[in-house]
Every structure is written in structure tokens, then in C-alpha cells.
Structure 1
Amino acid sequence: MRGADRKASGWRVTAFAGGAFAIGVLAGCSSGAPQPLTKPPYTATSVKSGLVTPADLGKGAIEVEDSDHASHVVYTPPTSIPTCPYVQRSEDVKVVVQPAIEPVGGNPIGRFIVGPQRVGPTSLPVITQGAVVFQSPALAEDTMNTVVAESAKCPETFGVLGGPPSVVGDYTVGSKPIEMNGWKGFAQHLVHTSPPDMNPDTYDDLVTVVVHKANAIVYVGYAQIKTVGQRADTEEKIETLMTTTLARLG
């Protein structure tokens, strides 16, 4: 995604980061239903085993772990759960809203990024993902309620007037509840367009899914750079990816 961190690898990825759905098939995904690799109660190790891998995206995908470098263009801790990406850069938000929530009493697994070595309109997507595991389902549910409440404050539109060219522009945000394979949460769709004099040819299309089941909260951000005139299809694509991921998690 263009409006995002620039890491040493040359990737441009979402800051928490950290979707509605139609059926599609991603390159590299198995046509058969994945077998569960784990089941509740979850551990940090078992949750990580079910997350998106380079093989899920296809040829050319690699994986790195977020280095927690606070000089990121849009920084949130890898131990946090996304609620409203990029809002911390905005100068015109009327309501105080946090871009992410750092959970209390949870065990974060870190933040992992899967995507191409170079990002552009014709590249693979950039996947930003992580999870937090709790000692009890009650703690996980309380934290999820806090995340949902904070995400509900995210404005439908906001702007970023200053900063790196990659984040300047207009942001449109929409959210809806989702439920898949027993996991419940929300999918937040964010579209970023640059000012006409900066980058009139492309826009950023990001969907962040945050879901909860038993004693775990999982989030996945799916970011694409789209050419102006192309349909925003990230919602459909992340549904296919989450169907695979959440089936593996059981």
C-alpha cells in the first residue's frame, strides 16, 4: 500500500496496521478446504501456525517480522490491535480516536508482513497480520469489545494535509460486522487517494479484518495499490484469504 511505512526492505506496508464478502480464488491458495492446524484454547505458537504464509499469496511472496522501528511513517506498536489506521496523521479529525489498542493481560505474537519484494499496482498484495492470545476467553472478549468500540469512532472521512507524500490525501472508511468459521469481528475498508498534483494515477485499497474466538484475537490487513479506474476488490480477496486462514485455526 502506498500510504504506509517504508521499511528497510523497500516494502510499503500498513502501519499497524492493521472486510464483506464474495468468493474468489487467490493465486497459490489450495482449492480444497484446509485442515485445522490447531483449535482452542489457542497459544501464541498455534495461532501463528494458521496465519497467512507466502505460499498463500503465490510466487514472489516473502515474509518479514515487523522490527518495531518507531520511525515508521505511520507507527503503531507491533503488540497492538488496529482500530483506525492512519488517523494519527490527520489534522481534521473532530473526535479523539486511537489508531490501535494495546491490550492488557494478553500475549501478542508480534506483527508479520507477507508480500512482494517490490510493491506497485501490478504486484501481489501486502498482508500485515498479528494476534494476541489471552489466558481466558473472558479477557479476550473484554479486549475485543474495547477494540470494536474504538474502531466505531473512526470517521467516515478524514484528511492528511502534511507529512510524507505517501500518506498525504483523502481517506474514506467503512466498516461492517463479519462472522467466519466461528470467529466474529469487523472488517474495515479504507481507501486513500492522493492530491491531484502528487499522484493522480493510483489509489490505496486496504481492508483490515479483526476477529475474536475463544481466547484469541487475530487481525489481518490486506493492502493493494490500484490504478485509478480499477475496481476496489480487496474486500472480495481478503474474504478468500481469511476463509483459508480461519479454517486452519479451527
Structure 2
Amino acid sequence: MTHMRGAERGPAAIAAGVFAIGVLAGCSGGAPEAGPPYTVSSIRSGLVHPADLGEGAIETEDADHGSHVVYTPPNSIPTCPYVQRSEDVQVEVKPAVEPVGGNPTGRFIVGPQRVGPSSLPVVTQGAVVFQSDALAGATMDSVVAESAKCPEAFSVLGGPPSVVGEYKVVSRPIEMDGWKGFAQHLVHTSPPDMNPDTYDDLVTVVVHKANAIIYVGYAQIKTVGRRADTEEKVKALMTTTLARLG
């Protein structure tokens, strides 16, 4: 059994699935037919593969350990990552929404075995498939409404060193190949006495089409002074992913 290992630091490393276990075996048989109505199998076949990231990438499944530094259920859809650790948020906002009536794919993590400023990115992804387009649309409305509450800035003052620091959040609508939703860009900087040379650059994309909602979190550890380019990279990656899904 292979484990994905990450240094004990911010969102990019946490997203690497320090607690995720079990490298997934390759799918057997032909790929499910692309296009709606979507199934769990067809969505799974279209999500990010290790080959999409490059040599050295592996895939693991989030085994739902409650000991995560920042925990959300694997069947949930992200709305405001890491906000549950903050002490200074002035409005009530959930880090994720657990949908009712959907069939989740589970949460899968693709990335390097060791995480650092020069490593491959870490991709955290999953989806929920519904019996009807209407139910998926109503759920997406709830996710968008909750994500709109995410503050533009918040702090985490206590807890593990990997999450302490300042968080800046920018969100905007996104539409790709008929999938519509939002891209939320989060930058985490540590206090000057902790990891002063790097910052965490995370973009979470949540999109909806027909009877499915998918999310992809793309995280990098960047050296201070280097431009945050995660949003550009996740869009390029999702161009491939969404083309497979149809």
C-alpha cells in the first residue's frame, strides 16, 4: 500500500491527503459514455488522472478520517475552505455543503508523494450525481449562495502551524464547455516566524451541468515573489477534464 506523503504545512500540503490511503487501481473495461445524464462511473472516468499532472503523480482516495487538520465530509461540496478554523469571521459560513439526494463519487486526491515548492500540484476532486437536473440545479444554487458568504479575508490564529496565518479569498463566476459555477482563489500566508519563504496558492472550482456537480481544488506551494498562477493552471487542466466528461 502506497501513501501520499506531504510536509506538515499549509493548505497545499494538507490537500495532499496526509490521511488518504490506498492507491486506486486502474479502471477495467471501456470508459463510460460521455455526456449527460451523468453517472458516478462516467464522472469518475473524466476526473483528473495522474497522467494529467505528469511523472511522479499518484492517486489516493480520501478514507474519511475525522483526524484531518481541516475536515469536511468526502460527500460534501466545498464552499469556503479553511474558514472553520478561523476565529475572526463575522458571519456564519460553512466550509462545505452536504447535498441531500445525491450520489457522491467520493473524494480523490492526485499529486506527488512529497509536497514542496518545486513539486507537482495537489488536486483534490469529487462530484455528486443526482437523479434529476432540477435537483442538481437546486443544490448548486445552495452551494453558490453559501460560497458567496465566504469573507474576502480571514485569519487563523491558533491550531496546527500548517493552517495558522492570513487568508485572502477572491471568487468569480466561471463557465467552461457548458459547465457553470465559480472559481474561488485562496492565498494563505504564514506568520513571519513560520514558513516566511513560501505561501499556499489554492483555487477551488465548483461547476454544474445537467444532473452533476463536480469540484476540483488545485493547490501549489509557491516561493514568495513568484506569481500566483494556480487559476490559469486549473483552467487548463479542467479543459481536458470537461472535454472527457462531455
Q: TM-score scaled to structure 2, two decimals? A: 0.89
1:1-250 matches, within 5 Å, as 9-11=4-6, 12-14=13-15, 38-250=34-246
Distance 1:36 1:172, change over 3 A: farther
Question: 2: CA distance between counterparts of 1:86 and 1:68?
Answer: 17
Alignment partner, residue 9 of structure 2: none
Amino acid in structure 1 at the alignment position of 2:230: T
Tell me, what secondary structure is at the counterpart of 2:159? coil
CA contact (8 A) 1:36 1:249 kept: no
Amino acid in structure 2 at the alignment position of 1:14: A
Amino acid in structure 1 at the alignment position of 2:78: P
Q: Which runs of 4+ in 1 moved over 4 A?
A: none
Tell me, what secondary structure is at the counterpart of 1:56? helix
Amino acid in structure 1 at the alignment position of 2:84: Q
CA contact (8 A) 2:198 2:221 kept: yes
Tell me, what secondary structure is at the counterpart of 2:94? coil
Tell me, what secondary structure is at the counterpart of 2:36? coil
CA contact (8 A) 1:37 1:50 kept: no
CA contact (8 A) 1:41 1:215 kept: yes
Higher RCO (CA 8 Å, separation ≥ 6 residues): 1
Q: In percent, how many aligned pairs have the same letter? A: 80
Q: Which runs of 5+ in 2 are unaligned?
A: 7-12, 18-30
Q: How many corresponding residue pairs? A: 225
CA contact (8 A) 1:15 1:86 kept: no
CA contact (8 A) 2:103 2:129 kept: yes
Tell me, what secondary structure is at the counterpart of 2:146? helix
Question: 2: CA distance between counterparts of 1:188 and 1:67?
Answer: 25
Q: TM-score scaled to structure 1, two decimals? A: 0.88
Question: 2: CA distance between counterparts of 1:10 and 1:184?
Answer: 33
